[in-house]
Chains A and B, each alone.
Chain A
Amino acid sequence: SQTIHQWPATLVQPVGSPLSLECTVEGTSNPNLYWYRQAAGRGLQLLFYSVGIGQISSEVPQNLSASRPQDRQFILSSKKLLLSDSGFYLCAWSVGQYNQPQHFGDGTRLSIL
């Protein structure tokens, strides 16, 4: 069966520090991978998605970047965190196109001080 692992579960970082969140998927090949952010009182905002190794689509201009160094590994990074980067970050995977369900990790709660 397929599983998705996302870590860490919680993270407290000072403003200006770097960030690296990692997500890995097991049990499937060539998944579509996604990074979302969910701010308090707001919906899930798609940040990046990837349909293959090295292929990254950015949805919104921001202080973050994403990379996919391996088929089932998706990394969210920042060189210098801003206060506005606080939120709940979710990784997800799907397979195929059009109306395929997405399967989410347990999320990372990021607090910027």
Chain B
Amino acid sequence: TQLLEQSPQFLSIQEGENLTVYCNSSSVFSSLQWYRQEPGEGPVLLVTVVTGGEVKKLKRLTFQFGDARKDSSLHITAAQPGDTGLYLCPIQGGSEKLVFGKGTKLTVNP
């Protein structure tokens, strides 16, 4: 069974700070998705990383897939209150299933 750990579980920062959250596993993934869930809403897909070492940028968000495809990171530059939410990186749980962990709950204070 593949296991994936997200860290930190909670993160509270001030507006303008930079931060990095991580997804780590002992297993190799063919690809990995990142979602953000805002309070009271469903998760929304941010990005999918596929190639080892791949870096994708979405405005102030930078996603990196580890060279060995066992881990991924999300770096946010100059965080804003609108970045507040639960960041999730599920793993493939079967041909049509994703397995979500607890994610990283980010709070950006104005």
Contacts and interface: CB of A to CB of B under 8 A. Distances in A.
In which size bucket is the chain A interface?
20 to 34
Contacts of B99: 46
Contacts of B45: 101-103
The main secondary structure of chain B at its interface with chain A is loop
Contacts, number: 55
Q: How large is the interface on B (under 10, 10 to 19, 20 to 34, 35 or more residues)?
A: 20 to 34
Contacts of A83: none
Interface stretch (B13-21, B53-61, B74-82, B100-108): B100-108
Contact of A94 (B41, B43, B96): B96
Contact of A99 (B31, B40, B42, B44): B31
Contacts of A107: 40-42
Contacts of B90: 44
Interface of A: 32, 34, 36, 41-46, 49, 51, 90, 92, 94, 97-107, 109
Interface of B: 30-31, 33, 40-45, 48, 88, 90, 92-93, 95-103
